[in-house]
Structure 1
Amino acid sequence: MRSLSLVGGCSASGERLVSAARDGDFQEAKALLEYNPRLAKYTTFAGRNSPLHHSAAQGHHEIVSLLIESGVDINLKNYRGQTALMQACQYGHWEVVLTLVLFKANIHKTDCLNGGTALHLAALNGHSRCIRILLADYIPSVPTFYKLVKKRSKLQEFVSEANERTSLYEIINRPADGGVTALHMAALNGHVDSLCLLLDLGASVNVVTLEDGTTIDLIGAGSTPLHYAAYGGNPHCCQILIAWGASLTAENEKGWSPLEVARLWHREWLEEALSEHQQDRITILPSPYLSLPLMSVVKIARECGWTSESASNATDPCAVCLENKCTVAASGCLHELCTRCALYLCSTSNTSTSPHAPPGSIPCPLCRHAIISFKKLTTTKPLIQLPLKQTTSLSCCSCSSIPKNNTPEIIPLSKQKPNSHSMRSHKFPVLKVENNLCVRGTDTIASIVRRSHINRYSRSSLRWSGSHVKGRRYWLCSSNQSVETPGDDY
């Protein structure tokens, strides 16, 4: 569509962009942003979800890329204090997470309700791929990584150069309100894959929750992930935590051990799993989601972009997609792939290599050789910064003026829409956007949550405004689980 009716001002055009982002209408979104790139910053009434949040929540990674190219703030928060990265992790849209991570979205942002990060939301819902992609800048592509983490040595050395000099150990064990960590989340909701991945990355099995009055914690302060696993009722999670050294006799501030928690909530099937003689029966295998080559290919993608250069005229196209020119080579076997296929391979592979291969390596799709890292080919050139050109934007309302500064050039996109299993090929321009956009609402508003009935809980155990109770009670559990009280029959 080339003819747009902008009658109604920025509100009408912004709502059209919001609808296009929510529905995945790429052509509509592209046409709107071509006429007015400033619409990318549009937020709905009272600062609710922006087009970026809508597209991230629905998994439309192409529109997410388009909005970022148009100058939207990648770390913009909605009225709940959630970024687009948080929403993508909450719903498990790993392609959106990968897109945002490649554009260096801040993974340390916390929401306004529970102090949780994108990592907490990914662990809460068991999205192991999202967890791994979030930590792409912290897990080096070296064969000895798993051994170092297994020994709990040199964990402080795994520090990202781009994200506030925070170590991997600090990120994995960062508590949300009430001292709840990502490991607590995964254990409570029975997400075995996410639990194993977090433990392999250095999550502490004996970290305890706190009584700070900000989270409704029915289990009690001072609870370990094993207490949460006992409440969740998954015996496999309990066995894994015990094998990693979780204490069977640790008591929380209510005086409950993990076994007593299981009995209080009628988890009789955990009696054997929580017995002391189970610890020697379990063999721990490395998580298949470690994916050591991810950091290396992410660095190449940031430096050289997802290649959009067609291999139609090349003599040696990518052997996986048969479309793009080869840009990277796998370590060891030296098979060449395009950057897009290498990213997809690292993000989706959950197959363990041979027992003799280093844990975290992924099998080559051509010869099954273990890949530890990818290297850039000598013919792969870094991105050249595109010159900024003067563009004209339609003034949507009288309260905003057309900026005189240059706006970034929007790179033409491929006419053929890729399938859901591939990333869109494009380059990464350096963006510099002015903040003179007409926004009729504030970015955030106070959360309004209906007061729930809490008569059965003691006032000392809540110590928080009743308007926050409903939202915080369901923070710890996935949406498909209910919150119970000790002794309830079900």
Structure 2
Amino acid sequence: MRSLSLVGNTFGCSASGERLVSAARDGDFQEAKALLEYNPGLAKYTTFGGRNSPLHHSAAQGHHEIVSLLIESGVDINVKNYRGQQTALMQACQYGHWEVVLTLVLFKADIHKTDCLNKGTALHLAALNGHSCCIRILLADYIPSIPTFYKHVIKRSRIEEFVSQSNGGYASRTSLYEIINRPADGGVTALHMAALNGHVDSLCLLLDLGASVNEVTLEDGTTIDLIGAGSTPLHYAAYGGNPHCCQVLIARGASLTAENEKGWNPLQVARLWHREWLEEVLNAHQQDRTTPLPSPYLSLPFMSVVKIARECGWTDGSASNCTDPCAVCLENKCTVAASGCQHELCTRCALYLCSTSNMSSAPNAPPGSIPCPLCRHGIVSFKKLTTTKPLFQPPLKHISSLSCCSCSSMPRNNARITHETIPLSNQKPDSHFLGFQKLLSLKVENNLCMRGTDTIASIVRRSHLNRYSRSSFRWSNAQSKGRRSWLCSSNQSLETLNDY
């Protein structure tokens, strides 16, 4: 009889967990909030097939409000699914949901995690699909808010000391150069992926951040490389067929005569794969190494505003009692001031500005500065106002281990279930009403199942709930695309993998 009871409890929690997965996938914030309030342990529910958690589903679909809700409920932000061993940050970068990437980075998600398919990180997936906004958000902790950053990177000088001083040592363990040039399976870097798929904006941004044009692929990878080991990003750009990518790489110092282990230089690769339009660009006698302009996606003030957001928050700041609200959104009170022009903004608008700006810097401004939305002055960093106070952040809720059922947190049979009695009035109640009073104040444990039934089937009705209001973060225009392998098996367009 006890075994039947446990089976019933498993199906009951499974039904609630599937409802949370559906709410996370569909963006139903109100139902997700009600389910988590009823049982916070549901945040760790995973589906039976791919072991995708609600965090994976909401990140893949771009529902950053639900991502924040799940993280605040205590879910492991770096949890991996079963198929592919990907984190929520990887899936958000794969589909270009920069709002989700920003939320995860603000909660200090690990950007160094790799999957089990190609040993790629979130940076590799963002470069593979050309999501430049995601790339700069991922590296926000490694780009110091100093006006001379671009000069240091161009000279290939080390900047770890600036990162350590600017961000309190949070990102000082690994240098920016190592992250940018970290190889995936077969020695393929993020620059190889961007060059292969013709993503010029991502290519320019990676080069401005210190990506090496001389990194070559290796032979010991498990992925079939038709181009050949020892290939540079220019070999991959020649295979991809994008002349602009080839021109940018050549201007940044890529060798036109470098040969891979098959004895092919970039021009020969273009000829073998019938990229005739690249012969003029890859001709060594007509090379033109003009100095390229800095990438418009380089964002210097990002590190400073991220640091302020983590310290003082970025979601709370209503201007209902404020006489001078943010001039951009007119909703929140001002919390930060831009360097130089000293215009005041709220933290959320500053984060949005640093995440989405793709305008070139002013002529007299340092490369990577963001134009001020009020006066067009180049912003290099933000500083918090004297009235901005740090937020007290209570520790996240502890959730016991949960695979497919939340019954693992159920009390044993010999455990005592306590009943909390709260007085309804200051007067001592009569004995006649004592039972009724205790019944009203009875607190039912959240981690109890009702033996095979969905115990909260009527707690929320979707038809009676309005959708969660859209936040001030604007939705990204990136569409959900299937992941494409960066080493294609034919000279046709890259094959699209299924979503996992």
Instruction: Bin the TM-score by the shorter chain.
Output: 0.7 to 0.9
**Superposed counterparts of 1:222-261, under 5 Å:** 222-261=230-269
Deviation of the 1:478 alpha carbon: 12
2:410 counterpart residue number: 401
Quick check: which has more Rg, 1 or 2? 2
Query: Structure 1 CA distance, aligned partners of 2:487 and 2:224?
Result: 9
Question: How big is the shift at 1:249?
Answer: 0.4
Task: Give me the whole-angstrom Cα distance separating, in 1, the residues matched to 2:378 and 2:336.
Answer: 15
Deviation at 1:353, TM superposition (A): 2.3
Which position in structure 2 is the counterpart of 1:137? 141
1:296 aligned residue (285, 301, 304): 304
- 2:51 equivalent among 48, 53, 57: 48
Identity of aligned residues (%): 85
* Deviation of the 1:164 alpha carbon: 6.8
Deviation at 1:386, TM superposition (A): 3.7
What is the 5 A alignment of 1:360-439?
360-386=368-394, 398-401=407-410, 417-419=469-471, 421-422=473-474
8 Å Cα contact 1:124/1:478 also seen in 2:
no
Q: CA contact under 8 A between 1:124 and 1:477: conserved in structure 2?
A: no
Instruction: Give the superposition deviation at 1:159.
Output: 4.8
Q: Distance in 1 between matches of 2:300 and 2:490?
A: 32
Q: In 2, are the aligned partners of 1:239 and 1:278 still within 8 Å (CA)?
A: no
Alpha-carbon distance, 1:400 to partner: 3.4
Residue 272 (structure 1) aligned with residue 280 (structure 2): yes
How many residue pairs get matched?
422
Identify the residue that residue 443 of structure 1 maps to in structure 2. Answer: none
Q: Distance in 1 between matches of 2:79 and 2:174?
A: 21
User: Structure 1 pair 76/235, CA: closer, same or farther in 2 (3 Å)?
Assistant: same
- For 1:183-198, list aligned pairs within 5 A: 183-198=191-206
Structure 2: which 5+ residue stretches go unaligned? 1-8, 400-404, 418-444, 447-466, 476-481, 496-500
Question: 8 Å contact 2:252–2:289 — kept in the other structure?
Answer: no
Match of 1:71 among 74, 97, 102: 74
Shift of 1:156: 4.7
Shift of 1:215: 1.4
CA distance in 2: counterparts of 1:240 and 1:482, whole angstroms: 22
Pair 1:88 & 2:92 matched: yes
* CA shift for structure 1 position 416: 6.6
Q: Equivalent of 1:33, from 26, 31, 36? A: 36
The 1:31–1:226 alpha-carbon spacing in structure 2 relative to 1, beyond 3 Å, is same
Correspondences of 1:212-227 after superposition (within 5 Å):
212-227=220-235
Counterpart CA distance in 2 for 1:219 and 1:337 is 50
1:107 equivalent in alignment to 2:78: no
Q: Which residue of 1 aligns with 2:154?
A: 150
Deviations 1:192-235 (A, max 9, x none): 00000000000000100000041110000000000000000000
Q: 1:89 to 1:168 in 2, by over 3 A?
A: same
Structure 1 residue ranges (4+ consecutive) displaced by more than 6 angstroms after TM superposition: 387-391, 478-481
Displacement of 1:148? 0.4
Structure having greater relative contact order (Cα 8 Å, sep ≥ 6): 2
Q: Structure 1: 5+ residue runs without aligned partners?
A: 1-5, 408-414, 424-470, 485-490
**Residue 271 of structure 2 aligns with which residue?**
263
Residues 203, 401 of structure 1: alpha-carbon distance in 2 compared, 3 angstrom cutoff: same
Aligned to 1:199: 207
Cα distance change, pair 211–322 in 1 and its aligned pair in 2 (3 A): same
Distance in 2 (alpha carbons) for counterparts of 1:379 and 1:165 = 33
Match for 1:100: what amino acid? L
- Partner residue, 2:64: 61
Paired with 1:50 and 1:390, the residues of 2 have a C-alpha distance of 17
Alignment partner of 2:141: what SS? coil
Partner of 1:315: 323
Higher deviation after alignment, 351-360 or 190-199: 351-360
> CA separation in 1, counterparts of 2:181 and 2:10?
51
- Alignment partners' CA distance in 2, 1:261 and 1:390: 55
1:175-207 CA distance string (max 9 Å, x none): 001000000000000000000000000000010
How much does 1:397 deviate?
Answer: 6.1
TM-aligned CA deviation for residue 9 of structure 1: 1.6
* C-alpha distance 389-271 of structure 1, shift in aligned 2 (>3 A): closer
Q: 1:249-288: per-residue Cα shift (whole Å, max 9, x none)?
A: 0000000000000000000000011012444353300000
Return the letter of the residue paired with 1:118: A
Q: CA deviation at 1:474?
A: 2.7
> What SS does structure 1 have at the residue aligned with 2:37?
helix
Give the aligned partner of residue 116 of structure 1.
Answer: 120
Which of 476, 489, 493 lines up with 1:482 in the alignment? 493
Q: Which residue of 2 aligns with 1:465?
A: none
> Is the alpha carbon distance of 1:172 and 1:362 closer, same or farther for their aligned partners in structure 2, counting shifts above 3 Å?
same
1:296-334 alpha-carbon deviations (Å, 9 max, x no partner):
000000000014121121110000000000000000000
Match of 2:346 among 318, 338, 345: 338
Secondary structure of 2:137's match?
helix
SS in 2 for 1:272: helix
Task: Name the SS of the counterpart of 2:267 in structure 1.
Answer: helix
1:447 paired residue number:
none
CA displacement 1:22-72 (0-9 Å, x = unmatched): 111111111100100110000000452110000000000000000000111
Cα distance, 1:256–1:175 mapped onto 2, change above 3 Å: same
Counterpart-to-counterpart distance in 2, 1:301 and 1:314 = 20
1:186–1:195 CA contact under 8 A, matched in 2: yes
2: CA distance between counterparts of 1:481 and 1:347?
Answer: 34
Give the secondary-structure state (helix, strand or coil) at the position aligned to 1:66.
helix
Distance change in 2, residues 1:46/1:159 (3 Å): farther
TM-score, scaled relative to structure 2 = 0.79
Pair 1:19-2:22 in alignment: yes
SS of equivalent to 1:280: coil
Partner residue, 2:356: 348
CA distance in 2, matches of 1:243, 1:57: 36
What amino acid sits opposite 1:401 in the alignment? M
Summarize deviations over 1:104-131 as a string: whole Å, max 9, x none.
Answer: 0000000011100000000000000000
- The aligned residue for residue 430 of structure 1 is none
Deviations 1:391-414 (A, max 9, x none): 9xxxx765432599x99xxxxxxx
**Paired AA for residue 113 in structure 1:** L
